[in-house]
Structure 1
Amino acid sequence: MSAIAAPVAARPNALWQALCKNRLSWLGIGLLLVIVLAAVFAPWLAPHDPLSQNIAYRLEPPSAEFWLGTDSYGRDVLSRLIYGARVSLLVGFVAILIAMCIGSALGILAGYVGGVVDQLIMGLVDVLLSFPTLLLGLMVAAMLGASLENLIIAIAITEIAPFVRVARAPTIALKQRDFVEAGRALGYGPLRLMGVHILPNMISDVVVLGSLWMASAIRTEASLSFIGLGVPPPAATWGSMIREGFENILDAWWLTVFPSIAILLTVLALNLLGDALRDAIDPKLRSER
């Protein structure tokens, strides 16, 4: 008897069709592409050294030399903004990737095995969800200390629970499908059934959630950096830039406005991209548009 091939949830051209129907998604893709390219080519795009201090140019307003002004140490805000994109995107992507892998594995395990295993995993998820995301991240970051690695771990822990729930629900339905039953009849083990037959048919839901929750991870990173639990100074991060500018908000508005706009545009781009991905995998949404 030939091997059983699991059906794929979405067609290869579904994403392109969704992008053509949802024109706002192109705005999100364009914004995100600009931000990513700015982060990648930061050493060539930044007009000044983001860490170079010159007290003679302290709190300079936007001008021809300093397009977005300078901070209280005379550092160029535009250069720090460009380099700050590196930290925000790195933290958001890596933290969500870790949360996606761990959460999806736990969700598939809970949905497939059921019983006591399901109760234990979902009990842990309920505990994580009982804490607000920012408060849980604050607790973990405070215990681990301020560093880039600890910040990623703290945010990843806060984002695991949603992925567990999103992965568990379709797993419960998929494990009763004919192709899974056929694989079980052929003697396939649980790991193969979960990894080869079930995972490809629910991974699209997880990817959509990842794009949406990456925006949440970037907001959490900015919030933790604002209260001093992010990447230690003098590294440039959008949250730390807002915190530094908050002390001079009445005299130097540009210190808080421009990093806030950067966060806003990044979150908007990720949300628009997530909506397009959701439309691509949800037939009901595609038919309504």
Structure 2
Amino acid sequence: MTAIALSRVSPIRRLARLCWRRKAASFGAFVTLLVVLAAIFAPLLTHQDPNEQDILAQLSPPSAEHFLGTDTFGRDVWSRILYGARVSLAIGVASIAVAMVVGGLLGILAGYRGGRVDRLIMSCMDMLLSFPSLVMGLLVVAVLGPSMGNLIIAIAFTAIAPFARIARAPTLAIKQRDFIEAGRALGYSDMRLMLRHILPNILDEILVLGSLWLATAIRTEASLSFIGLGVRPPTATWGGMIRDGFENMLDAPWLVIFPSIAILVIMVALNLLGDGLRDATDPKLRNE
């Protein structure tokens, strides 16, 4: 009965309460929220078009007209960072959402069914884990071609295995609980037991891992954009901005420094949020 009652409480609400109790997680959530709001309300925070070129103002240092300076085409760096946040966050959230759904379901299926199904699925996941995430993403994007959709697929593909492993472990324990046995006795289908009774009880762990891997997804997107396999220009992305400004780094360091700071801020915030939630959901650390 306790597990059934627990599944009726929203996992997002539980995580929000745990986040509020942890200062590091609260700070990370606050900074992440600021970045998200800045991306959403970018048109209100800048009057510059991120793709508008002004050759007469190219490589201008930070000034009242251009808050963070301009790039080699005279485009406003501040506006490109704001609009680039939209692309980076959209790709990161979409790819991790896909990885959470696919990896989580595979992990639940492997843990619940066991036997050959478990061995087959986890062998495939172990094979995926043998490749570094950036190398795997590079291979997928190189095959599919650079585009926003292919980038989401590539990053999601690299993150499926960790979600499958994190979903499988608690499933092995939960499937032995009395309320699962009671469901089987009542004639519930395996699909209903997995989706309505097991999934809600392990969703906390999947969401916590998602917050940690979101930072990795944004970093991977920036890395792929830096080597020319990201979203095609002139769309602004943080990694693409660093690549464009790399050749002029000594003469115009702001072209590299400010996008790098944006990546650093969101990654630190997401890692603080994820680490705080992980510690808060860990029974050994919950009361510390």
Instruction: Give the TM-score of the pair, scaled to structure 1.
Output: 0.94
Unmatched segments (≥5 aa) in structure 2: none
User: Residue 6 of structure 2 corresponds to which residue in structure 1?
Assistant: 8
User: Residue 122 of structure 1 corresponds to which residue in structure 2?
Assistant: 122
Residue 95 in 1 paired to residue 95 in 2?
yes
Residue 225 of structure 1: CA displacement? 0.4
User: Residue 210 of structure 1 corresponds to which residue in structure 2?
Assistant: 210
String of CA shifts for 1:12-65, please: whole Å, max 9, x gaps: 775465345422222212211111111111122223110001111111111111
8 A contact 2:69–2:76 mirrored in 1: yes
8 A contact 1:100–1:163 mirrored in 2: yes
SS, match of residue 82 in structure 2: helix
User: Residue 151 of structure 1 corresponds to which residue in structure 2?
Assistant: 151
Counterparts in 2 of 1:148 and 1:57: CA distance versus 1, 3 Å: same
Q: Which amino acid aligns with 2:129?
A: L
Q: Which amino acid aligns with 2:234?
A: P
In the TM superposition, 1:118-267 aligns within 5 A as 118-267=118-267
In the TM superposition, 1:25-40 aligns within 5 A as 25-40=25-40
Q: Which amino acid aligns with 1:182?
A: A
Residue 11 of structure 1: CA displacement? 7.0
Q: Which amino acid aligns with 2:126?
A: D
- In the aligned structure 2, how far is the partner of 1:97 from the partner of 1:263? 20
User: Residue 269 of structure 1 corresponds to which residue in structure 2?
Assistant: 269
Residue 254 of structure 1: CA displacement? 0.3
Counterparts in 2 of 1:163 and 1:5: CA distance versus 1, 3 Å: closer
In the TM superposition, 1:74-93 aligns within 5 A as 74-93=74-93
8 A contact 2:7–2:197 mirrored in 1: no
% of aligned pairs identical?
A: 62
User: Residue 52 of structure 2 corresponds to which residue in structure 1?
Assistant: 52
Unmatched segments (≥5 aa) in structure 1: none
Q: Which amino acid aligns with 2:286?
A: R
Counterparts in 2 of 1:5 and 1:130: CA distance versus 1, 3 Å: closer
Instruction: Give the TM-score of the pair, scaled to structure 2.
Output: 0.95
String of CA shifts for 1:242-284, please: whole Å, max 9, x gaps: 0011111111100000000000111111112212322342232
8 A contact 1:241–1:256 mirrored in 2: yes
User: Residue 64 of structure 2 corresponds to which residue in structure 1?
Assistant: 64
Q: Which amino acid aligns with 1:245?
A: G
Q: Which amino acid aligns with 1:166?
A: I
8 A contact 2:70–2:77 mirrored in 1: yes
Q: Which amino acid aligns with 1:231?
A: V
8 A contact 2:15–2:204 mirrored in 1: no
Counterparts in 2 of 1:29 and 1:266: CA distance versus 1, 3 Å: same
SS, match of residue 255 in structure 1: helix
8 A contact 1:215–1:271 mirrored in 2: yes
SS, match of residue 166 in structure 1: helix
SS, match of residue 286 in structure 2: helix
Residue 284 in 1 paired to residue 287 in 2?
no
Q: Which amino acid aligns with 2:105?
A: A
8 A contact 1:9–1:281 mirrored in 2: no
SS, match of residue 63 in structure 1: coil
String of CA shifts for 1:72-104, please: whole Å, max 9, x gaps: 000000000000000011000000000000000
Q: Which amino acid aligns with 1:23?
A: K
In the alignment of these two chains, the number of paired residues is 286
Q: Which amino acid aligns with 2:225?
A: S
- In the aligned structure 2, how far is the partner of 1:144 from the partner of 1:29? 34
CA RMSD of aligned residues (A): 1.8
Deviates more, 1:27-36 or 1:167-176: 27-36
Deviates more, 1:274-283 or 1:127-136: 274-283
User: Residue 22 of structure 1 corresponds to which residue in structure 2?
Assistant: 22
